[in-house]
Amino acid sequence: VWGIERGYQGLIAGQLVPLDLRAVGSIIHMGGTVLKTARCPEFKTREGLEMACETLKTHGIDGLIVIGGGGSFRGASELGELTSVPIIGVPATIDNDVAGTDETIGFDTAVNTALQAIDKIRDTATSHDRIFVVEVMGRDRGFLALEVGLTAGAGVILIPEHAFKLHDVYEKLHQYAESGKKTTIIVAAEGIGSVPEVVQHIDDHTPFEVRYTKLGHVQRGGSPTARSRLLAQLFGTSAVRLLQDGHTNTMVGLEGKRVVHTTLDDVCNTVKPIDQTMRTLVEELAV
Ligand code: F6P
């Protein structure tokens, strides 16, 4: 078994390291990746894909497991058209924006990291009677913001999948203030556009004291939660089994409590729907 360093960049450059049984010892509690990772624009070119095929050939690779998000699987799907080497995808991104799986590896860890940070921010919010706008990652989707917002007890959640008017946000804050609620946490997904502008608007149009915190890359690190580890174990073993059983161009995923698999084509051509009932729950729960 070989590990490919820095994802597609290493596949193009032939940077492979042997992964024997001991190579993965004592890493179960670590965040990030011992194989490292990189964004690789070259892999989007025909030349890059051909160089990757060449690496597979020269190293006698007879099965490839790609761990990543939507971009990684689009790459895997294109590579699959040029090589006969079977390819299996394992979904791992804090964005949880991959179709074909309820959850991706790392999502639960990021949710819990953001949650702990907001719990701490809430101490200042409550002591000073302030509104806090907390920006979370998620790229152009709101899965992370939604789950973090709900579990952090946010009064407002702003996600790209649900158009909102700033006026409605002011109204909501006034309603809360009238009912005696002096602190509101607003969780905003980075995908809604410029969150600082939203903060400025709230500051300009309401009497409330407002502060802005962008959680940033803190959400991408740290020791994985039990749930993220379990998912990695389930997905990893299933991916190996799928290769052994002769599958290709397929991604493993979770549906309810079952591990399922979906073709990479379907994964790449399907937009994962957001659970709007979860969003409306916020309106019921925030009082
Ligand atoms: O896709 C994962 C993610 O963390 C997104 O949520 C975020 O927008 C992006 O990656 C950040 O990428 P970078 O570390 O390259 O700035």
Taking the C-alpha atoms of residue 93 and residue 122, their distance in angstroms, rounded to an integer, is: 27
Q: Is the CB of 220 under 6 A from ligand 1?
A: yes
Cβ 183 vs Cβ 129: under 8 Å? yes
> Can you tell me the distance from the alpha carbon of 113 to that of 197, in angstroms, rounded to the nearest whole number?
25
CA distances from 236 to 116, 193, 207, 243, 271 (A): 28, 35, 52, 11, 24
Respond yes or no: is residue 95 known to be catalytic. Answer: yes
Q: Which residues pair with 262 in a beta bridge?
A: 251
Q: Which residue's CA is minimally distant from atom 5 of ligand 1?
A: 139
Strand partners, 189: 136
CA distances from 40 to 3, 12, 76, 257 (A): 17, 9, 13, 34
Our answer on whether the CB atom of 279 is closer than 6 Å to any ligand 1 atom is no
Per-residue pLDDT of the chain (287 residues; tens, 9 = 90+): 999 999 999 999 999 999 999 999 999 999 999 999 999 999 999 999 999 999 999 999 999 999 999 999 999 999 999 999 999 999 999 999 999 999 999 999 999 999 999 999 999 999 999 999 999 999 999 999 999 999 999 999 999 999 999 999 999 999 999 999 999 999 999 999 999 999 999 999 999 999 999 999 999 999 999 999 999 999 999 999 999 999 999 999 999 999 999 999 999 999 999 998 998 898 899 87
Global pTM reads 0.97
The candidate with the shortest Cα–Cα distance to 252, out of 234, 270, 265, is 234
**């990772």: which residue's tokens?**
37
d(CA 142, CA 99): 14
Marked catalytic residue, from 20, 62, 95, 129:
95
Give CA–CA dist 251/101, Å, rounded: 9
Contact by Cβ (8 Å): 169, 286: no
Alpha-carbon distance of 72 to 110, in angstroms, equals 19
What does the alpha-carbon distance between residue 193 and residue 140 come to, in Å, rounded to a whole number?
A: 9
DSSP code of residue 208: S
